[in-house]
Structure 1
Amino acid sequence: MSWLIFLVWFGNIVCDTVGQLAFKGAATEPDEENKPQSLFQYWLALFRQPLLWLGIIAYVAEFLLWMAFLTLVPLSEGILLGSINIIVIMVLGRLFFDEKLTSMRVLGISFVAIGVAIVGAF
């Protein structure tokens, strides 16, 4: 894997991860006493969240990086290498949002990690 491919791939991982975590943070309501009363109020409050806009910006950047990545590698390899995002997001979801990592999830992300390592190595 060339340095250019690696940098574009790594940038894609970072942008996708930041976007996912920002969307989760924006959608999670930390304050029960200021909970919106209706769906419309919820969406108004959501659009005022800076994390939502960070997520949107990260997703736009991720889209551009993904397109660049796919111009550099075959689609079959790109999809497999892109799967590493699943692992990164699951681990950071555990760290930032205290999400549960069951034994089946750990087994699943282990298989994904092994597959990504094999594709990246060859």
Structure 2
Amino acid sequence: MSGATALALGLTILLDVAGQILFKLGLDRAPQTGLPARVLGSPVIALGILAYGVEFVAWLFVLSRADLSVAFPLATLSYGGVLIASRLLLGEAVPRRRLLATLLIAAGAALVGASA
């Protein structure tokens, strides 16, 4: 995998994490009305959608240059990013079992990356 492809893959992971955190923040801060109104009226959720849009373009770039069987497992590193961001930015508890499961996912992604 070239440097540009790896950089784009890293960007997709970061944007995926950012999108998820923005969606959660937007829903938590929105008035407790119906879900469509909460989604449509939230600028934070709009930023999350924008992050997903940029991620989509970067992901297409990655797929045009890397094997899906390598890129997709590496993209699961976003699970770890969401876990860390949820703890640091949202104050969510991270039980040991959830942390261990996420570390296993990261180990699997590392094995895929090492085999590429």
TM-score in terms of structure 2 length: 0.88
Whole-angstrom distance in 2 between the partners of 1:117 and 1:5: 16
Secondary structure of residue in 1 paired with 2:112 = helix
Corresponding residue for residue 19 of structure 1: 19
SS of structure 2 residue aligned to 1:101 = coil
**Greater Rg over alpha carbons, structure:** 1
Aligned ranges for residues 1-122 of structure 1 at < 5 Å?
1-29=1-29, 35-36=31-32, 38-39=33-34, 43-122=36-115
Q: Using the aligned pairs only, state the percent identity.
A: 29
Describe the SS at the equivalent of 1:25. helix
1:47 CA drift (Å): 2.3
Structure 2 unaligned segments of length 5 or more: list them. Answer: none
Mapped partners of 1:44, 1:76: distance in 2: 39
Within 2, Cα distance between the matches of 1:45 and 1:69?
Answer: 33
Deviation readout 1:38-59 (Å, 9 max, x if unpaired):
42xx533442322111001001
The two structures, once aligned, show a CA RMSD in angstroms of: 1.7
Q: CA deviation at 1:25?
A: 0.5
| Whole-angstrom CA distance in 1 between matches of 2:38 and 2:82 | 25
C-alpha distance in 1, partners of 2:38/2:102? 34
- Figure out how many residues of one structure are paired with residues of the other and give that number: 115
Q: Distance in 1 between matches of 2:8 and 2:38?
A: 34
- C-alpha contact (below 8 Å) 2:62/2:71 kept by paired residues: yes
TM-score with structure 1 setting the length: 0.84
C-alpha separation in 1, matches of 2:38 and 2:55: 25
The AA in structure 1 aligned to 2:14 is: V
